[in-house]
């Protein structure tokens, strides 16, 4: 397997470039042809000599490796989940406390003006306000969302799907059509 990108400087060979295209593609290469990292030399007519033109970090295989490493490290997923949580929690807590105070005020007014058909004790309004706070505890939301993202990303990775940004998972709900442009990539190993 070729570790670098470059040009064939001398010789002739046949190269399988399935790492770049997703299907088996055997190409004959001679002097001056571009050789891509990740390609596999399967036969040689003359001993090939390649001139390296790109450092490992800028080769196709190097970029793919760095992309996979970055995506699977979890830092991108955690950052996106934390950003989302920060935005949601800021509004969520404000709304919940507002509802709790409205509940407290409503039951105090109902007690004071006698709008109820039953006797209300002084603790009843506080019990209702605390019930609102307990029922909508942001702790449950704060732990559930990152866990859902982590499970979805791990499940996708286990099925061979690399998700670069967790925001793309949120966008899946709007997709109604998927178009594949590589023939054989899916149908080669799966029944479609």
Tokens 């003359």 locate to 46
**Cβ proximity of 125 and 100 under 8 Å:** no
Instruction: Taking residues 15-30, report their average pLDDT.
Output: 74
Q: Assign 158 a pLDDT band (cuts: 50, 70, 90).
A: confident
Instruction: Taking residues 33-50, report their average pLDDT.
Output: 82
Does 21 score more than 70 pLDDT? no
Does 161 score more than 90 pLDDT? no
Q: What is the pLDDT of residue 19?
A: 63
Q: Is 128 left (phi over 0), alpha (psi -120 to 50) or beta?
A: alpha
Tokens 């407290």 locate to 104
Beta bridge partners of 27: 15
Q: Assign 105 a pLDDT band (cuts: 50, 70, 90).
A: very high
**Cβ proximity of 148 and 99 under 8 Å:** no
Burial of 112 (0-12, 13-18, 19+ CB in 10 A): exposed
**DSSP letter (8 states) at residue 137:** -
Rounded to an integer, what distance in angstroms lies between the CA atom of residue 23 and that of residue 18?
5
Pick the residue with more confidence: 43 or 188? 43
Mean pLDDT of the chain: 77
Rounded to an integer, what distance in angstroms lies between the CA atom of residue 21 and that of residue 131?
58
Rounded to an integer, what distance in angstroms lies between the CA atom of residue 82 and that of residue 97?
22
Rounded to an integer, what distance in angstroms lies between the CA atom of residue 177 and that of residue 122?
58
Helical (H) or strand (E) element with 107: helix 75-113
Of 39-43, 160-164, 184-188, which one has max mean pLDDT? 39-43
Q: What is the pLDDT of residue 181?
A: 64
Does 3 score more than 60 pLDDT? yes
> 66-98, pLDDT tens digit by residue?
777 766 665 555 566 667 766 776 777 788 889
């Amino acid at each position: 397997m070729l570790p670098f990108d470059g040009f064939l400087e001398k010789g002739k060979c046949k190269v399988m470039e399935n790492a770049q295209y997703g299907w088996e593609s055997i190409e004959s290469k001679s002097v001056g042809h571009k050789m891509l990292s990740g390609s596999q030399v399967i036969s040689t007519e003359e001993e090939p000599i390649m001139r390296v033109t790109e450092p490992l970090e800028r080769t196709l295989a190097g970029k793919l490796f760095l992309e996979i490493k970055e995506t699977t490290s979890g830092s991108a997923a955690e950052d996106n989940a934390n950003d989302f949580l920060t935005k949601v929690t800021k509004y969520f807590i404000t709304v919940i406390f507002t509802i709790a105070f409205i509940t407290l005020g409503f039951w105090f007014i109902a007690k004071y003006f006698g709008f109820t058909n039953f006797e209300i004790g002084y603790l009843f309004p506080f019990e209702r306000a605390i019930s609102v706070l307990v029922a909508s505890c942001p702790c449950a939301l704060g732990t559930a969302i990152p866990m859902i993202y982590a499970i979805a990303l791990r499940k996708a990775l286990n099925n061979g799907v690399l998700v670069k940004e967790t925001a793309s998972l949120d966008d899946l709900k709007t997709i109604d059509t998927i178009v594949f442009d590589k023939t054989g990539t899916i149908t080669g190993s799966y029944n479609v």
